[in-house]
Amino acid sequence: MGAGAWGTRLTRASGPVLRYALVLIVLWIGLFKFTPSEAEGIEPLLRHSPLLSWMYAVMSVRSASAVIGTAEVLIALLIALRPLSPRLAAAGSIGAIGMFLTTLSFLFTTPGMFKVVDGLFVPSGMGSFVIKDLVLLGAALWLAGEALTAAAGPRAVEAA
């Protein structure tokens, strides 16, 4: 089997692996938002966020975390529906894009996300945790494109 055939097989296998890995990660992240430790852990990020700090004016720390967790679980379930509905999976993937862009914004809104080590500007503790969302954002972007292409059908792909 040549390199091209292996490449095709790997490309075909990568979509489902990427999809369900993202589903599992987002589902875990979402379910963890229902725990007291995660609600307290994300509080500094949300308090400094121009996008999300309003939540604490209208609900408790635990309630805000639960609302976010509910959205994340819904996003994961929508992405998982790809075999049944590419349109719903596309909506879930687009939701994940918004979710990861929001969490990446914490790098710029939360004090202490970076530090200087040996003259190099690097992410600090929580910053290191948040920066991994760049890879997850890439996965969500790819999955959104794949699901939107599938939802449009073969004729739309031919027209492009």
Rounded CA gap, 144 and 21, in Å?
15
Chain position carrying tokens 């292409």: 149
Q: Give the tens place of pLDDT for each residue, 83-140.
A: 999 999 999 999 999 999 999 999 999 999 888 899 888 888 888 888 899 999 999 9
Q: How many CA atoms within 13 Å lie on the side-chain side of 25?
A: 16
Q: Is 147 helix (H, G, I), strand (E, B) or coil?
A: helix
Cβ(75)–Cβ(92) below 8 Å: yes
Question: What's the pLDDT at 8?
Answer: 85
Position 115: which residue type?
K
Q: What is the DSSP letter of 77?
A: H
Percent share of the chain, pLDDT over 70: 96
Per-residue tokens: 119: 């003259």
Percent share of the chain, pLDDT over 90: 74
Question: What's the pLDDT at 7?
Answer: 87
